[in-house]
Amino acid sequence: MSTEEESQRDFLEKYQEEAEKIGRFNLAIFGKTGTGKSTLINAVFGEEVAPTGIGEPVTQSNHLYLHRAGFFGLIDTRGLEIGTGTDQIIAELGRYLADMRTKPLAEQVHVAWYCVRASDRRFEDTEAEFVRRLHSLDLPVVLVLTQVASRDGQFHEDALALADHIASLDLPIDGGRPIMVMAKSDEFTSQVEHGLGELLDATFRVAPEGAQAALIASQQIDLARKWKSAQVAIGVASSGAGLIGATPIPIADAALIVPTQLALMARISAIYGIPKETAGMSAIVATSVATAAGRGAVTGLLKLIPGAGSIIGGAISATTAAAFTAAMGYAWATVCGQISQGKFAGVNGALDAKAMKKVFESELLAWAKKLGKKKKADASG
């Protein structure tokens, strides 16, 4: 096995480890047929999660299904209607939740979304009852008013009236009010997307602490949250890299910090919710760039970082090692952000490695410059 192959294997091992730590965010979704549940899930968690398959039945009576996709799990109902089927749905769900309670947090159901279509202009007593019973199972409930029409940033007055009516019922829902959403724009009726961020914020508010990382990884609309988590990981790794380089290391041995950088990139991949299937391709790209950089093929790049003086002396300092690692982390987070937005999509679901590598290299250069400038400013300021 070549060093590069070994590095890729290490990367994937580390990714797997991080993915296991992050676990899974499990959402239960309810609402009448056609309210827009699948559309909503697609908009927030990405197309791959769309429950196209039937999923696996999680109760013996086969009315609850779990769809797993990476860091996300979706529980939905088949063959029973809210109202006539409420007792049975709640009974099955109750049994399932009880079974899961003895399992790790990643197996438990964390949040429920109850969806009501705004254009239906009504919210039935049986629906209110259903929401109360979800709550009595200790599930935090977010109530979503779907397909809410808007014009110039104003919601349709019927939707507002419906929201007011629901709010007046004093239901055990987050914020006491429904979240108004249009999950998908519609050109014909000039409807624009809105409310997804608010829905996600509400979900973060009620999700248990231990499920937050999986929610950050699985959602696809709030890149700032992913970036923030990546920043924390970068801080940890770059101070570690600084320690390794505490005594200046010969430039030829810059490869010593490569494992730290690869571990960091594996971690960032998991934070961004890069699925297992794509992690392999990203491992190849990450490794090829990191090892080339470590070998000193990009001494030009290292020169951009403070401590350049010590490079001239044939060694890199602790500060340089730290800044270099941080640049690697930020550049990779940028690449992962783009992957999560569907960039680099090549043929049959594979990633376009060439394009990824190009972006990674140019980002690495840009971040090295940026961090270099910052360090210089810090030193003189």
Ligand X SMILES: Nc1nc2c(ncn2[C@@H]2O[C@H](COP(=O)(O)OP(=O)(O)OP(=O)(O)O)[C@@H](O)[C@H]2O)c(=O)[nH]1
Q: Give contact residues for ligand X (rule: CB under 6 A).
A: 31, 33-39, 146-147, 182-184, 186, 191
Find the shortest distance in angstroms from Cβ 381 to ligand X.
49
Find the shortest distance in angstroms from Cβ 238 to ligand X.
42
Find the shortest distance in angstroms from Cβ 318 to ligand X.
52
Nearer to Mg ion, 40 or 216 (CB): 40
Nearer to Mg ion, 24 or 37 (CB): 37
- Binding partner selected for residue 99 from ligand X, Mg ion, none, CB under the kind-specific 5 to 8 Å limit: none
- Binding partner selected for residue 334 from ligand X, Mg ion, none, CB under the kind-specific 5 to 8 Å limit: none
Find the shortest distance in angstroms from Cβ 181 to ligand X.
7
Distance CA 234, CA 212 (A): 19
Residue 88: Cβ-neighbour burial (10 angstroms; 0-12, 13-18, 19+): middle
Yes or no: say if 58 and 64 are a contact pair by the CB < 8 Å rule: yes
Yes or no: say if 276 and 256 are a contact pair by the CB < 8 Å rule: no
- Binding partner selected for residue 147 from ligand X, Mg ion, none, CB under the kind-specific 5 to 8 Å limit: ligand X
Distance CA 369, CA 377 (A): 12
Q: What is the secondary structure of 307-323 as a DSSP string?
A: -HHHHHTTEE-HHHHHH
Distance CA 345, CA 324 (A): 28
Distance CA 286, CA 12 (A): 11
- Binding partner selected for residue 34 from ligand X, Mg ion, none, CB under the kind-specific 5 to 8 Å limit: ligand X
Write the DSSP symbol of residue 156: P
Nearer to ligand X, 191 or 212 (CB): 191
- Binding partner selected for residue 35 from Mg ion, ligand X, none, CB under the kind-specific 5 to 8 Å limit: ligand X
- Binding partner selected for residue 60 from ligand X, Mg ion, none, CB under the kind-specific 5 to 8 Å limit: none
Q: Give the binding site for Mg ion (CB under 5 A).
A: 37-38
Q: Among 326, 281, 275, 347, which residue's Cα sits nearest to residue 45? A: 275
How many C-beta neighbours within 10 Å does residue 113 have?
Answer: 23
Nearer to ligand X, 35 or 325 (CB): 35
Nearer to ligand X, 194 or 369 (CB): 194
Nearer to ligand X, 36 or 273 (CB): 36
